[in-house]
Amino acid sequence: MSDKHSATVLVTGATDGLGRGTAIYLAKRGYRVFAAGRNAQKRASLETEAKKENLALETLEMDVTDDASVDQAVAEIEKRAGPVEILVNNAGIAIVAAMEEISQSDLHKQFETNFFGLVRVTQRVLPAMRESRRGRIINLSSVAGKMASPLFGPYAGSKHAVEGISDAMRVELVPFGVQVILIEPGYIPSNMEASALELSSSYVAKAPASPYAKVYEGFQRSWGRISSDKSYTPEDCARVILRAIQDRRPKVRYPVTKSAYVIRWMERLLSDRTIDRIFIHDYGLQPPGN
């Protein structure tokens, strides 16, 4: 989609982290961007920045977990600028917990935002895309959508689901000229970490008394190493998203960060048991009787 100056872009979860970086990056390159989010204060901050730089960026209130909120926000975009031509499904949360311990309500919260919310917004914009026979849907997945690490079951499960429906939709939408593309970032520092810590606080607090205490300890060591890498910024992800929008024949999947490429090749070349052994060793775990 090279006619960027007429392209209307909707970015969900756009008031923070990768979403904010993407919204600003695309607006600076001539796209008309609608940045959607729930937090009024963060929306106001983003609007102020956009006005200072004279960007074609407008913010909208949108809760991807609420039908009425999504419908109202998309209707407002259509009123101001016409149908959404490029959808960047970025809204997401992360809850870190052992699968036995996570509450059903938290598991529903995880999937309601990362999976059902993505579907909800996509279903709302697709009819107009089909009618116009053009459009791109950019789904933010994760390396966790390819390989799940211990305690990332809830988050990885939601991203595996995103990968699955994206594969199905990509073929379903061929007759209508609508393309579905997956972005698979590795670790990129953002405010999502603080949000994940808050959402996971009850499980982390109980970790020392948990039967999974060793797993939590291993995770904290592993995450300490991962999170010390400050090599990438949200703009690095935004740059890849721009490629996915502008490539004449976009790839099915775009990894972001070196670790994303490494995990992609590990998943292709190593057996499931070998990958398990890597995690078992890294987390310092031992089977019974060893």
Q: Give catalytic residues, as residue numbers.
A: 155
Specify whether the backbone of 181 is left (phi greater than 0), alpha (psi in -120 to 50) or beta.
beta
CB atoms within 10 A of CB 211: 9
Full DSSP string of the chain: ---GGG-EEEESSTTSHHHHHHHHHHHHTT-EEEEEES-HHHHHHHHHHHHHTT-SEEEEE--TT-HHHHHHHHHHHHHHH-S-SEEEE---------TTTS-HHHHHHHHIIIIIHHHHHHHHHHHHHHHHT-EEEEEE--GGGT-PPTT-HHHHHHHHHHHHHHHHHHHHTGGGTEEEEEEEE----STHHHHHHHHTHHHHHHGGGSTTHHHHHHHHHHHHHHHT-----HHHHHHHHHHHHH-SS--SEEEESHHHHHHHHHHHHS-HHHHHHHHHHHTT---TT-
Q: How far apart are CA 43 and CA 208, in angstroms?
A: 38
Q: How far apart are CA 15 and CA 74, in angstroms?
A: 17
